[in-house]
Amino acid sequence: METIVQYFQEFTWVKAIDMAGLVIGLVYLWLEFKASIWLWLLGVIMPIVHGYLYWERGLYADFGMEIYYVAAAIYGYVMWRWARARGEAGQEQAERPVTRFPLRQVLPAALVGLALWALIYWILVRFTDSTVPLCDSFTTALSMVGMWALAQKYAEQWLIWLVVDAVCTVLYIYKQIPFTACLYAFYTVIAVLGYFKWLRMIPASDN
């Protein structure tokens, strides 16, 4: 495994994109923390950067996930902008409010996540030379559930990302993309802070 000094000794496009992804990811995280609808704009740009990186490092499920992220970003923008809810006085709100993850949706979401994990794992083992199919498929499947929860603006989406980010941090260190690993380590910390911030943003009537 490369040391930090060795990592910087030779310039490659993978390393440059790794660093660019770190910057874009930090901006995206700040927008998500603020529950800003502009996060969905970066939600289209960031997958292009990370998609190249993951393909080069043989993280094929993560690469496929970036294609899903683009579609999810468009869906998320529509949900936040036009799927509006009523406020306490019955007034239509400008954007979708932050709400709790409905208990009735926990089991279906978990089952969908498990099914996706099994399917993606099978695809990786059967059709690719992935060296980390179990972890790669796990983070990809859980990320798909997490993006759906983010589009619904559920506060608990942060808890889903907490698990994804922690596993990805270790995975990316193993795959020698340290800037992305650092980004996801930071994501892990912010996921905790973001969860409590979003809880405070939930309308009093929903609490």
What are the percentages of helix, strand and coil residues in the chain, rounded to 5? 75, 0, 25
Kindly report, residue by residue over 63-76, the tens digit of the pLDDT.
887 888 889 899 99
Indicate the range of 3-12, 73-82, 100-109, 120-129 predicted with least confidence. 3-12
Nearest Cα to 48, choosing from 78, 29, 25, 27? 25
Taking only the tens place, the pLDDT of each residue in 153-205 is 999 999 999 999 999 999 989 888 887 788 899 999 999 999 999 999 987 65
33 near 197, Cβ under 8 Å? yes
Distance CA 11, CA 85 (A): 50
pLDDT band for 103, please (50, 70, 90 cuts). Answer: very high
Q: Are 88 and 205 in contact (CB under 8 A)?
A: yes
The burial of 42, by beta-carbon neighbours within 10 Å (0-12 exposed, 13-18 middle, 19 or more buried), is given as buried
User: Per the structure block, which two tokens stand in for 84?
Assistant: 């509006």
Other C-beta atoms lying within 10 Å of the C-beta of residue 3:
8
Looking at residue 22, its amino acid is L
Q: How distant, in Å, are the alpha carbons of 91, 99, 148, 155 from that of 207?
A: 18, 9, 22, 12
- What is residue 104's DSSP assignment? G
C-alpha span between 102 and 189 (Å, rounded): 24
What residue has token string 């690719």? 128
Confidence label for 12 from pLDDT (cuts 50, 70 and 90)? confident
The larger pLDDT score, comparing residue 112 to residue 29, is at: 112
How far apart are the C-alpha atoms of 144 and 12, rounded to whole Å? 30
